[in-house]
Amino acid sequence: MKKIAIISTKGGVGKTTTTVNVGHGLSLNGKRVIMVDCDSQNNLSDIYDMESDRGVNALLMGKRAWMCEVRRNLFVIPSGGRNLIEYEWKLATQKNRHRRLARSLEDLANCDFVLMDCSSSMNLTNINVLAFADLVIIPVGMDYFSVSGLKQTFELIKDICQRTEHHVRLMGILATQFDVRTRISREIYGVLSRMFPRELFNTVIHQNTKLRESPAFGKSIFEYDISCNGARDYIKLTAEILAYDG
């Protein structure tokens, strides 16, 4: 079982979009996938019209969470919304608070991938996620603030791993929102290619209107328009993840 955190300290870089479309792509390839909404904004859960106060917040308290099969072989655990923030406050002074999620999910069986859609904050939930995950994917948008966010994300991961004494590996840096028409996209991608030649996924997620539209219809890009460029990009990314043996 691969446990993958999709994380960045920069918002709006495609974390939820990547979680949804990679999750569905993996399930279409016959893998059993659990997507975990680790953001109190509840965006991942909202796509599937899921409302529950028993999500990640319950797992942090050592309780059972609601999990729903939203597509064949594809499951979602909601965040718990605002309750997640309240539960983080409750845990703030408790011992071993960074291992709560790992303990609650340690008995997961019959699952090939766990994808965790993280918030952009350094909070107790993200600390728990990184204490549970084996791998991280870091999406990076094609703007200068996203590049600085990449540096902050590396620092966050390093800091949390030192605190929790748990090592996670970088599966890859994912270039998102690439627009072939703009110089800034080409420049930022060039910087990433020079700085991280081995860490950068071969797949590039291009700017695509269909990718922005599909969540409003409660669909992945494969359901919304499998012929569009966004679907082709996520098919390629899914294949890269399936082939990963690091």
Closest listed residue to residue 79, CA positions, set 16, 131, 122: 16
Number of H helices and number of E strands within the chain?
11, 8
Could you tell me which of 192, 174, 150 has the C-alpha nearest to residue 241? 174
Taking the C-alpha atoms of residue 48 and residue 154, their distance in angstroms, rounded to an integer, is 31
Strand-pairing partners, residue 173, are 138, 200
- Mean pLDDT, residues 175-185: 95
Which has the higher per-residue pLDDT, 88 or 32?
32
Give the pLDDT band (50/70/90) at residue 146.
Answer: confident
Instruction: List the structure tokens of 29.
Output: 């390839």
Does 3 have pLDDT greater than 90?
A: yes
The mean pLDDT value for 4-19 works out to: 95
Q: If pLDDT is split at 50, 70 and 90, which confidence band does 15 have?
A: very high
- Of residues 52 and 204, the one with the higher pLDDT is 204
Instruction: Say how many C-beta atoms besides its own lie within 10 A of residue 162's C-beta.
Output: 10
Asked if 49 contacts 41 with a C-beta cutoff of 8 angstroms, the reply is no
Give the per-residue pLDDT at 100.
Answer: 87
Average pLDDT over residues 171-186: 96
- Cα(94)–Cα(89) distance, integer angstroms: 10
Tokens of 219: 């669909």
Residue 149 in this model has a pLDDT that exceeds 90: no
Q: Answer for the pair 173, 201: CB distance below 8 angstroms, yes or no.
A: yes
Domain spanning 2-243, CATH architecture: 3-Layer(aba) Sandwich (3.40)
- Mean pLDDT over the full length of the chain: 92
Q: Which of 121, 184, 191, 199 is nearest to 153 (CA)?
A: 121
Convert the pLDDT of each residue in 60-99 to its tens digit. 888 888 899 999 999 999 998 877 877 677 777 777 788 8
User: What angle (nearest 5°) sits at the alpha carbon of residue 46, between those of residues 40 and 51?
Assistant: 75
Side-chain-side CA neighbours of residue 72 (13 Å): 3
Over residues 97-145, the pLDDT tens digits come to: 888 888 888 888 889 999 999 998 878 888 999 999 999 999 999 998 8
Do you know the residue count of the chain? 246
User: Which run of H or E residues covers position 87?
Assistant: helix 82-91
